[in-house]
Each structure stands twice: as C-alpha cells, then as structure tokens.
Amino acid sequence: MSGRPVPTPAAELEPLRRHFRDPLSGFDVGPGWRRIVLRCHEAVVAEFPEYELVAVKQKWAALAFQAFPRPWKRGGNWTHDEADRFDALVAEFTTASEHVCERCGKAGTLRETRAIELTLCDVCESVVGPNGCL
C-alpha cells in the first residue's frame, strides 16, 4: 500500500454515478477492482459519452460491467457495430479483473474454495470468509 488513504467507493467511483439507469444503484465489487472499474468507465465514456450503466458487480469471479452504448429505448437506439465495439471495450476490463485480487488489487487467481467463486491473492484467500464477504 502507498500509505495514502483509500478513497471510499462513492468518492472514487463517483464519475460513474450519473450513468446509472437507477440513481440508487451501487457498486458491488471489492476495493481491489475499483481502479479497473474506473478505467473501464473512462474507456467507455471516451467512445460512448452518454452510455447507460445498469450494474457494476462481480459475477463468476470476474467484473460484470453491465451497460448500453446509450440509454435504452424500446426498439433499441444503437447499431450492432456499436454494441460490438462497446462489448469489446468492456471485455478487456473483464479479462483484466480475472487476474487481480478483488479485495486488495494485487495479482490474484480464481478461487473455488467457497460457495462463491472469487479472484483473490494468496493472502486474501486466507482471510476472506466462507461466505465470500469482502
């Protein structure tokens, strides 16, 4: 650790908040992935400034950044090419998360030692409880 205080999720991930479909939505990822989430947001917003965020969570030990290129409308309002580009952007960060400890941000690997699969480093694997609470 650098000795600096770790920002709260609300402060560090605040730039994403305006993109949430539901303003009461939160971030369901551990502190080790906050930097990945923020970089994902920055990459997405650079190409799709008005993207709509549905959820940011851990799913099957990887980042699930669930969003659309623009706010959803019945019948859609983006092309297949835009959706493919959007998905490719997000996939880079999903893949990156598979190698980063969700709890501390160090190098991590898939852990299948509890009911929920997580990506953790050896140290965090030894301290995260059986229910997977980070």
Q: What are the pLDDT digits (tens) for 11-54? A: 788 889 999 999 888 888 899 999 999 999 999 999 999 999 99
Rounded CA gap, 7 and 81, in Å? 36
Q: Is 3 helix (H, G, I), strand (E, B) or coil?
A: coil
74-78, 110-114, 121-125: segment of lowest average pLDDT: 74-78
Residue 4 pLDDT level (bands cut at 50, 70, 90)? very low
Q: What is the pLDDT of residues 97-121, one digit of tens each?
A: 999 999 999 999 999 988 889 999 9
Residue 9 pLDDT level (bands cut at 50, 70, 90)? low
Please, are residues 9 and 31 in contact by the beta-carbon 8 Å criterion?
yes
Residues near 8 by beta carbon (within 8 Å), at least 6 away in sequence = none
pTM comes to: 0.86
